[in-house]
């Protein structure tokens, strides 16, 4: 599973991405959204792996074989969230309607200067959290992430909002975990996504949408070491310009007994998978793992 998403060829070109960016910034969101239809058609016809992955996922969540039209809607939703990154990162969240559900779960911690982990997934829009947190609330936020995937997209959006780049803690470096520990100790919320594996990262099998899938154990082990509150968050695109941002207290602390480490770790990760399934069912087109998520390694 890990190699499937990490090795997918990055589609598009810097020119095309910059053209979309120019249209969005200069002609507005409504006109920019008209180009989502040819983009959707392109991926529907040319991206066989992503098309098959979308149909597999949608068929699971719908309980029947997904139609080609439903696959197109799924891809269109993904393209729409990418486009809206332009406006969120450019401090133009005013063009979007963002409903925040239980923001006090995180704001109370911020107000107390309490560091925490914000645990998300490739479900909906991450920027719905990231940009408003930095531009509006001035939340002390750090993002733990891999930077070597989709570099063309990341570099262009980093140019749009350099402050975002300063908030990133690169994952996979020798001092990554030390930087996370320091950030949390300084009262930062450290955000990370917990639904993809890469390389030789340790995983556990969890029930997800009717079949077992591999989930990384790293986020739970990190939480157990840091002993800080964990807040689950998802930013769901509900159509048009509407987003719903959910905050949910996942745990005051993740406690894993060393004597039963494997069993307790699996229970914590399964709990995370259960909540992802809940939110995926709330807005099915927001699941953006366009690869064979249920494939077993080896």
Q: Give the DSSP per-residue string, the chain.
A: -HHHHHTSPPPS-HHHHHHHHHHHHHH-HHHHHHTHHHHHHHHHHH-HHHHHHHHHHHHHHHTSPPPHHHHHHHHHHHHHHHHHHHHHHTT-GGGSEEEEESTHHHHHHHHHT--EEEEE-SBB-SHHHHHHIIIII---EEEEE--SSSHHHHHHHHHH-HHHHHTEEETTSTTHHHHHHHHHHTT-EEEEE-S---TT--EEEEEETTEEEEEESHHHHHHHHHT--EEEEEEEE-STTEEEEEEEEEES-----GGGHHHHHHHHHHHHHHHHHHHHHHSGGGB---S-TTPPP-
- Which residues make Cβ contacts (< 8 Å) with residue 81, sequence separation at least 6? 124, 125, 127, 237, 286, 288
- Which residues make Cβ contacts (< 8 Å) with residue 18, sequence separation at least 6? 156
**Average pLDDT over the chain, rounded to whole?**
87
Distance CA 88, CA 285 (A): 20
Q: What is the pLDDT of residue 244?
A: 96
Rounded alpha-carbon distances, angstroms, from residue 2 to 53, 83, 218: 14, 26, 14
State which of 129-143, 148-162, 283-297 shows the largest mean pLDDT. 283-297
Residue 203 bridge partners (DSSP): 216
Q: What is the pTM of this model?
A: 0.89
Q: What value does the mean pLDDT take over residues 20-31?
A: 81
pLDDT of 298 over the 80 cut: no
CA angle 139, 149, 194 (to 5 degrees): 55
209 compared with 89, residue with greater pLDDT: 209
- Domain spans, the chain: 2-286
Chain segment 213-228, per-residue pLDDT in tens: 999 999 999 999 999 9
Chain segment 71-129, per-residue pLDDT in tens: 999 999 999 998 898 888 877 888 999 999 998 888 889 889 999 999 999 999 988 98
Q: What is the pLDDT of residue 5?
A: 40
């Amino acid at each position: 599973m890990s190699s499937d998403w990490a090795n997918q060829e990055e589609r598009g070109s810097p020119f095309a991405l910059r053209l979309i960016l120019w249209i969005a910034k200069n002609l507005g969101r409504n006109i920019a959204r008209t180009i989502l239809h040819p983009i959707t058609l392109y991926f529907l016809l040319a991206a066989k792996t992503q098309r098959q992955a979308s149909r597999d996922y949608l068929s699971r969540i719908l309980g029947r074989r997904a139609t080609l039209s439903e696959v197109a809607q799924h891809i269109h939703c993904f393209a729409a969230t990418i486009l809206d990154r332009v406006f969120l990162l450019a401090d133009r969240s005013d063009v979007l309607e963002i409903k925040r559900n239980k923001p006090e779960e995180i704001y109370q911690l911020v107000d107390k200067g309490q560091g925490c982990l914000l645990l998300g997934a490739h479900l909906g829009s991450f920027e719905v959290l990231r940009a408003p947190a930095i531009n509006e609330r001035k939340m002390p936020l750090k993002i733990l992430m891999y930077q070597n995937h989709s570099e063309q997209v990341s570099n262009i959006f980093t140019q749009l909002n350099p402050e975002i780049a300063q908030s990133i803690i690169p994952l996979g470096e020798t001092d990554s975990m030390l930087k996370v520990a320091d950030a949390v100790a300084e009262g930062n919320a450290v955000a990370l996504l917990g639904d993809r594996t890469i390389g030789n990262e340790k995983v556990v099998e969890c029930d997800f949408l009717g079949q077992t899938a591999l989930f990384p154990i790293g986020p739970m082990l990190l939480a157990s070491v840091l002993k800080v509150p964990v807040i689950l968050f998802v930013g769901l695109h509900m159509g048009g310009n509407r987003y719903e941002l959910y905050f949910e207290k996942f745990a005051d602390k993740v406690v894993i007994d060393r004597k039963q480490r494997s069993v307790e770790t699996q229970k914590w990760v399964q709990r995370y998978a259960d909540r992802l399934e809940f939110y995926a069912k709330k807005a099915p087109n927001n699941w953006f793992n366009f690869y064979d998520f249920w494939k077993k390694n080896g």
